[in-house]
């Protein structure tokens, strides 16, 4: 039910409830959701508030209005909460997806050139690159850099069969305590474009992730190249945010 004492507006709360029911399958794709009058009556709110909630979900692409018929659930793109500290492999597994990981460049200690955004600029760091495929479709490339001293010996481990988060936890007894992520649009050419099977005019979501540990800030840095035509890559922050 709705909490009138919450600082979250009532229409946001209702939108969250409707979205949760969509994800749980209570409102399956193509089904008609209750009318705004029914929502208003069922949740003890005014019809304008119910209208605001459905308007928000229409703007988010979850619902569609059909004149004279009502409001229906849109076909949803696959969504991954990819940017949690648990790591990318965990995000696929939580959705019940089988992901195949291919090592593009084997891990090695590498002398980094000058790259101002890379925390290992002009230093040495362990580096490897991997490609993730779902249903044989490439969806994600990760270029990963690790602190030379903290992760000593990692080059001897099999990174194709275990998640990096699992290795860091079980082999180094470390867990991230925080991080920073930057988001931007990029276009790929050459080897990366071939591996992701995209053209030079295809926009890619580029994420630069900095993970902090007790032992060191920015101990892991990664660059993620995400195909947004295959998945909606999301980050869970709480309730649905309105568009401004």
CB 190 within 8 A of CB 180: no
Q: Is residue 58 part of a domain?
A: yes
Q: Is residue 183 part of a domain?
A: yes
The pLDDT, as a whole number, for residue 52 is 94
Domain count, the chain: 2
Task: Give dist(CA 9, CA 137) in Å, integer.
Answer: 40
| In a shared domain, residues 118 and 162 | yes
Task: Give dist(CA 97, CA 241) in Å, integer.
Answer: 27
Q: Is residue 243 part of a domain?
A: no
- Domain extent at residue 64: 10-73
DSSP structure string for 174-191: ----EEEEEEEEE---HH
* Helical (H) or strand (E) element with 198: none
| In a shared domain, residues 117 and 39 | no
| In a shared domain, residues 118 and 158 | yes
Q: What is the CATH number of the domain that holds 145?
A: 3.40.1410.10
pLDDT digits (tens, 9 = 90+) for 221-234: 999 998 887 666 55
CB 64 within 8 A of CB 74: yes
What is the number of residues in the chain? 244
Task: Give dist(CA 240, CA 59) in Å, integer.
Answer: 12
pLDDT digits (tens, 9 = 90+) for 163-215: 788 788 878 888 888 888 899 999 999 999 999 999 999 999 999 999 999 99
Task: Give dist(CA 216, CA 120) in Å, integer.
Answer: 12
Q: What is the CATH number of the domain that holds 52?
A: 1.10.10.10
| In a shared domain, residues 38 and 87 | no
| In a shared domain, residues 54 and 163 | no
Q: How many Cβ atoms from other residues are within 10 Å of residue 136's Cβ?
A: 6
């Amino acid at each position: 039910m709705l909490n009138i004492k919450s600082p979250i507006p009532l229409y946001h709360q209702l939108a969250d409830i409707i979205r949760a029911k969509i994800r749980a399958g209570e409102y399956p794709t193509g089904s008609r959701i209750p009318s705004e009058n029914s929502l208003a009556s069922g949740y003890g709110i005014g019809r304008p508030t119910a209208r605001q909630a459905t308007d928000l979900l229409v703007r988010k692409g979850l619902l569609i209005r059909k004149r004279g018929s009502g409001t229906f659930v849109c076909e949803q793109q696959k969504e991954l909460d990819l940017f949690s500290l648990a790591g990318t492999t965990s995000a696929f597994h939580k959705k019940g997806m089988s992901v195949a990981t291919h090592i593009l460049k084997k891990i090695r200690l590498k002398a980094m050139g000058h790259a101002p955004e890379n925390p290992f600029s002009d230093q040495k760091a362990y580096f490897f690159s991997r490609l993730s495929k779902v249903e044989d479709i490439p969806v994600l490339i990760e270029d990963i850099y690790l602190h030379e001293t903290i992760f000593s010996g990692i080059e001897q481990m099999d990174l194709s069969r275990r998640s990096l988060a699992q290795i860091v936890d079980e082999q180094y007894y470390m867990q991230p305590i925080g991080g920073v992520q930057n988001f931007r649009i990029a276009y790929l050419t050459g080897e990366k474009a071939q591996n992701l099977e995209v053209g030079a005019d295809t926009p890619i979501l580029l994420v630069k992730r900095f993970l902090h540990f007790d032992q060191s800030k920015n101990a892991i840095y990664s660059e993620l190249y995400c195909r947004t035509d295959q998945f909606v890559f999301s980050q869970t922050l709480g309730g649905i945010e309105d568009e401004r």
